[in-house]
Structure 1
């Protein structure tokens, strides 16, 4: 009975490098928001709105490419270099297609900005930002390919080093280009887009260099692949991308709802979202670790250990969410002036602190519960839950109450965040209950319990 695997230790060991990588990535948006907000609140609003267009496209690409991770992992476990080389060739083909589609989509949105953003000054800044950041798409897509190549093989060091470079270089370039240092013109919000494009290619070259030894061992030699194989691989990843993008698009819709309430409101809303997303990266890492551990024990026909891993991950998420809720409530108002010097924007950010705090606890639970379900190969339940909670409940009701002012004296951003928090609480209850029931169900399956 004392030979039980150290469940918490295993999850923490998997989570730590993933936490570092996720925080570095999430901090990129936070740096853009911080420096654009210090430059001018209209640049903050413009970068925020443009990011809500660019981010879903990037996440869709990441989701589609994610299908490579388990395939690289399986091929590496079998020491099948031939299969790894073929997967890499398929990934390159798909990366090229996705790069072109992503670039064109962002340029189209850039030209559409004056028609979808009411404040024309904000629209112009958003347009310039999107034109610049579109050039980052090919670099991002190939960087994701080499990241998943390393991640699937369990080699996290090149990814972590690249993530650190990405964060540092992006911060420096943003500071220089946004404010016009070193003799360069001050570009404002456009500088954030240019910095993102330059940084992405630097990170790609860094990751490729760090992966060169592993890549050489495959003897790839630019092998040709069937277009049907590449298409099938892309279709396998498409449901993952759709599941990820549904939640992001919901947040994008809420950002545009906020824009109807005024430029300063959307600036405060964007700060709140970025703060929440950075803190949220820890549960994302725990969720990924939970998926790995639950699926590993499930594959070994050890359902009780699978259940222990799932419950341990949920416990960690709850503790983390609770701690962050308290910290944000205590110190949250002190960080508002970091993002803007405008008194009204600062006051709006401060008014959202309680909702940002509650967001952490419920979103951590629902994210890790979804990770557990993915580990149990329950892909439909999280997708249906996100679709229902966001697109059937939160979005329509937020528009009716937060924008149109139904059932309230006056519409405001606090109503939108209150409804978002309530919806996520419902999602956490649904997914948490489903994950626990599925873990318990597997334990009581005779063919698994007695294996």
Structure 2
């Protein structure tokens, strides 16, 4: 068998050279960061433009996105299994084995997208059970219908993006995200306000604009995958593979725990938004602003975590578990330092941040008070997210799913409901109660995942030396 060596998979010249490792992580993380900020900017644009249209438009778009985007992000999580699979094969120099696995991932993505499409079109009962204003329900339903039109493209994009990332190439997604931000803004402006002969859709127009944006994402990454020299070596599109139960199960075995973990993280925020919905459009608006800004900040640890997945995957592929652990620990330290900076920035400039989103004085007061609390959980969030990325590089996802479930659904949501909606412990705190519970949940999750990372990385090192002794 011919062994192809990818240049980024080569070991560090000095494994414990801290600056060299930090530079390698940052080189991978910066394009991912720009990409994540671009994706978050789409949500920012939706929130900002809907908020300036009307409070009901903002609330309807918030409810629609709280239902739709956790599902889409869960889809992206399942497809993220392609990254460590590709990374380990790249580290081992087996590029030609990547193509069949990517093709099976594409089949799986189409299947999941079809299921989500059916779900999005049948959300009437769920929306009515939320006891929201009828206008808000209509906007949320329209948002989900528009968003559903982009589901096939979203699935294809997530697969190809993860594949290119696994090769160690993170720049294409950065360029694509920059292009699509401008497109999304124009699409929102046209569809929300009904310009150029299009109907005035209000808050529902945000969903249609996001659906169209996913198609642009997909076509851009598809073109890159077809023309890039390194991508062509993997021969993803050299032949047509029929769906294979074995191939799809390999993706699902790793992808379901990853997707489940990410879905639980996102759906916890969705559930919180739904609980808060009964408090009125103004409270929901303030919460949505805080949530959207937190998503922008989240891009920093997420990009570092994804870069660690690649670094650790390449190291494991070339059978160098010491380098894998070193990359993971350096990435966690980098994320921790950045989180302290974002925490300070958020607390100092919360009024200025909220002013970008809305001019409504009542909504602004609520959003500022929530931002002051939300800033505090950024440290725990950074540790949790980078540890998840590191464990994905080891293909360790099942325990991560369990630990995340306990932290969020056993601790955060019940505690948040008690603090926010009841007088059992303190007088009902409203939205603040949920954000306080998130601090507790993310802290517990971060501690548990860091412990798991240390255990898994040590296990790989011991396994290597046992083989050497044998």
The question of a shared fold, defined as TM-score above 0.5 by the shorter chain, is answered with yes
Q: Spell out, residue by residue over 1:275-300, the C-alpha distance to the aligned partner (whole angstroms, 9 max, x if none).
A: 00111111011112223333444455
- Is contact 2:192-2:202 (8 Å) kept? yes
| Count of aligned pairs between the two proteins | 450
SS at match of 1:108: coil
Q: Which moved more, 1:24-33 or 1:147-156?
A: 147-156
Say yes or no: does 1:3 pair with 2:20.
no
Give the TM-score taking structure 2 as reference length: 0.87
Whole-angstrom CA distance in 1 between matches of 2:270 and 2:247: 30
Whole-angstrom CA distance in 1 between matches of 2:396 and 2:312: 12
Whole-angstrom CA distance in 2 between matches of 1:90 and 1:27: 31
Change over 3 Å in CA distance of 1:377–1:200 after alignment to 2: closer
Tell me by how many angstroms 1:198 deviates.
Answer: 1.9
Change over 3 Å in CA distance of 1:440–1:227 after alignment to 2: closer
Counterpart in the other structure of 2:389: 371
2:181 to 153, 167, 171: 167
Change over 3 Å in CA distance of 1:439–1:239 after alignment to 2: closer
Counterpart in the other structure of 2:8: none
Counterpart in the other structure of 2:262: 244
Counterpart in the other structure of 1:51: 65
- Is contact 1:33-1:271 (8 Å) kept? yes
Whole-angstrom CA distance in 1 between matches of 2:246 and 2:451: 38
Change over 3 Å in CA distance of 1:223–1:376 after alignment to 2: closer
Tell me by how many angstroms 1:350 deviates.
Answer: 0.9
Tell me by how many angstroms 1:438 deviates.
Answer: 4.8
Whole-angstrom CA distance in 2 between matches of 1:210 and 1:443: 37
Q: CA RMSD in A?
A: 2.7
Say yes or no: does 1:269 pair with 2:284.
no
Q: Spell out, residue by residue over 1:308-367, the C-alpha distance to the aligned partner (whole angstroms, 9 max, x if none).
A: 323211211111000000000111111212222322111100111221211211101111
Unpaired runs of 5+ in structure 2? 1-11
Give the TM-score taking structure 1 as reference length: 0.91
Tell me by how many angstroms 1:195 deviates.
Answer: 1.0
Counterpart in the other structure of 1:223: 240
1:16 to 11, 30, 37: 30
Say yes or no: does 1:345 pair with 2:363.
yes
Tell me by how many angstroms 1:226 deviates.
Answer: 4.5
SS at match of 1:367: helix
Tell me by how many angstroms 1:417 deviates.
Answer: 0.9
2:301 to 283, 294, 299: 283
Whole-angstrom CA distance in 1 between matches of 2:368 and 2:103: 50
Alignment of 1:176-255 (within 5 A): 176-182=190-196, 184-214=198-228, 218=235, 220=237, 223-236=240-253, 237-255=255-273
Say yes or no: does 1:357 pair with 2:375.
yes
Say yes or no: does 1:308 pair with 2:308.
no
Whole-angstrom CA distance in 2 between matches of 1:296 and 1:200: 29
SS at match of 2:246: helix
- Is contact 1:303-1:449 (8 Å) kept? no
Q: Spell out, residue by residue over 1:115-159, the C-alpha distance to the aligned partner (whole angstroms, 9 max, x if none).
A: 334221111110111111111111211222322332233333432
SS at match of 1:118: coil
2:411 to 393, 408, 424: 393
2:434 to 412, 416, 420: 416
Counterpart in the other structure of 1:430: 448
- Is contact 2:88-2:315 (8 Å) kept? no
Whole-angstrom CA distance in 1 between matches of 2:225 and 2:40: 23
Whole-angstrom CA distance in 1 between matches of 2:176 and 2:193: 25
1:259 to 262, 267, 277: 277
Q: Which moved more, 1:98-107 or 1:378-387?
A: 378-387
Q: Spell out, residue by residue over 1:211-246, the C-alpha distance to the aligned partner (whole angstroms, 9 max, x if none).
A: 222577738465242542354245322222112111
Say yes or no: does 1:322 pair with 2:336.
no
Whole-angstrom CA distance in 1 between matches of 2:217 and 2:186: 14
Change over 3 Å in CA distance of 1:389–1:121 after alignment to 2: same
Tell me by how many angstroms 1:372 deviates.
Answer: 2.7
Unpaired runs of 5+ in structure 1? none
Change over 3 Å in CA distance of 1:293–1:129 after alignment to 2: same
* Stretches of 4+ aligned residues off by more than 6 angstroms: 448-451
- Is contact 1:291-1:372 (8 Å) kept? yes
Tell me by how many angstroms 1:70 deviates.
Answer: 3.6
Change over 3 Å in CA distance of 1:139–1:298 after alignment to 2: closer
Q: Spell out, residue by residue over 1:56-97, the C-alpha distance to the aligned partner (whole angstroms, 9 max, x if none).
A: 21122212222333444455664654x444334323322321
Change over 3 Å in CA distance of 1:391–1:138 after alignment to 2: same
Whole-angstrom CA distance in 2 between matches of 1:12 and 1:387: 30
